Amino acid sequence: MIQTLAYIQALAYTFLFALVLRAYPILTTNRQKRILLVALAFVATYLKIAWVSTPTSYLVSNSSSSSSSSHITLNLPHPQTIYTQAKDATLVVFYNLFIPHTDDKAINNAINVTTDQISQVSAALSRLEVLRTTSKHSEHGVLFYNLIGNIDALSQSKMADLCHSYHPKLDCIQLQHYTNATEYVTLSNLHEYCHTQHVLDDPTKRVVYLHSKGSFHDHGKQTPWRRQLTNASLHPDCLYPPNETCDVCGAQYYTMFASMFPGNMWTAKCSYIRKLRPPVKGGEYERRKVKAIKQFFLLKEEGILHNTLGWHQDVFYGLDRYIWEHWVGSHPELQPCEIHATNIGFWDMVEGKKDVSEKHGHYDWGLGPRRELIFTKAGDKTDWKSNDEDANFKQFYYLAGNLIKWIGLYDTVPKQDSWVWKHFLAGHKWKVHVAKYGTDSIRALVDMKYYSVLDNHFSTTSIDNTDRLQSNSSAVIELYGISIPTTDDDNKETKKKALEEAVKAQFEKALDAARAHKE
């Protein structure tokens, strides 16, 4: 493009000199020749300068985007080409790396976080080399990463050298650099990787997701939590689960306040990842998720569903930046598994007061779910639970809210043999309801409240007045609405009688109108 502009400018200069020559006919022929030669020499010199100064390739170019992320496109091969470098890898990791732009202390902390996690990845690769000596795969690992923030603090070559210094067969490959972004950029790459042909050909392929937790918000709890999440995700039982039905594996899996692995680090089967909507900023997944939460609030206002357990912040509903932490657990067909024993709670993992490790017997792989409420500690009372089945049926953080999200996100519901019906309170009632209504299960609740109260709460007498109209009567169509209040046991019979009389009166009016019309 730059070269083309140079040619155009050179031609413009030539044309300008031609005009000058034509405008000065008084010049002698020799004079004109000298001017023309000078002009041509100038043009040739300009072209040479333009050609030499124009780069033949570009390392970095800025591209505008309508998204909130500032995206810098690197001169890298197409992602499909990059991903083939992990075709026969024992270990494939996608790593979301953030390094602050300023503050030397913060930058050094981010580098230390990265170094710590690279050492954990290399240790996991070494362990696999011992465990998988007869594997058909070549024993090497590939870590794809996106760098967000400071591009100068950790160049591609430095990152590659860092990885090789810990393990000679660990290749770290940068995908992109972003000045500002969140986890969705790397999750999107992971989702794309799972759709590449060589992965599609391997139904057992699993992939690890990690991020540099603590490089953005640095406080005391981040380090022990990050190490626990990273170690669990890289454990052989997560990478190659004892039970192949496991879709996603991490340190701990919870169903409340959402279906998620707190801290958002895990290993997942690509065949499951392909069921998820692409995690694109402003894309279908985000739009549908926000719409589903809005739907709940409308149903809450109408008294159809409720949230009496609290937790009204974005993190619990999975909105804003937290939407990506809920992504991997968002499909109704998820079969989770976890590494930590059930006597190791969330705070044990986060606070670092207990040395949670395999050598101390704190690892006990198992299919989930084996936990419920995320913030409870081992031995805590469960007085937040209710024995009121109707209240549990309407509770957002049980099946009601999950069904809103599952239907809203994926237009589907769990199968009838799913674990969800036994795990959640009022599960059997929801199972029967979903078996009848399927993806219309939430809509059916609205219908039952506003259109089926008559059938559910009253038995009406038959009103047959057809004999009062002759068969040759012309048709009369009358549209009217009946407001039917909800009932309670104290005055159910009174309202029943009032309703029957109101309905009968409406039919009487319709019949009188028909007679008057005929006359």
What's the order of all strands across the beta sheet hosting 206-211? Answer: 60-63, 70-74, 170-180, 141-149, 91-99, 206-211, 266-269, 248-250, 336-340, 363-367
Cβ neighbours around 253 below 10 Å, total? 26
**Is 459 buried (19+), middle (13-18) or exposed (0-12) by CB count in 10 A?**
exposed
40 three-state secondary structure: helix
Phi, psi of 114 (to 5 degrees): -60, -45
Taking alpha carbons only, the member of 187, 160, 162, 185 closest to residue 171 is 160
What pLDDT is recorded for position 74?
38
CA distance 59 to 55: 10
CA distance 73 to 179: 11
pLDDT per residue of the chain (519 residues) written in tens, 0 to 9: 333 444 455 455 555 545 544 554 554 555 555 555 555 544 444 443 333 333 222 222 223 333 333 333 334 455 567 999 999 899 999 999 999 988 889 999 999 999 999 999 999 999 998 886 655 555 799 999 999 999 999 999 999 999 999 999 999 999 999 999 999 999 999 999 999 999 999 999 999 999 999 887 666 678 889 999 999 999 999 999 999 999 999 999 999 889 999 999 999 999 999 999 999 999 999 999 999 999 999 999 889 999 888 766 777 888 888 899 999 999 999 999 999 999 999 988 888 778 888 888 899 999 999 998 876 654 554 556 778 999 999 999 999 999 999 999 999 999 999 999 999 999 999 999 999 999 999 999 887 775 544 344 444 344 444 444 444 444 445 555 555 555 455 565 666 666 666 666 665 666 566 566 555
CA distance 106 to 215: 7
What pLDDT is recorded for position 511?
59
| Cβ contact 362:341 at 8 Å | yes
**Is 263 buried (19+), middle (13-18) or exposed (0-12) by CB count in 10 A?**
buried
CA distance 216 to 200: 35
Cβ neighbours around 318 below 10 Å, total? 23
CA distance 255 to 353: 25
Q: Could you identify the residue written with the tokens 């390392």?
A: 59
**Is 186 buried (19+), middle (13-18) or exposed (0-12) by CB count in 10 A?**
buried
| Cβ contact 511:465 at 8 Å | yes
Looking from the CA of 424 toward its CB, the CA atoms found within 13 Å total 30
What pLDDT is recorded for position 63?
30
Q: Indicate the pTM of the whole model.
A: 0.73
346 three-state secondary structure: helix
CA distance 184 to 167: 28
173 three-state secondary structure: strand
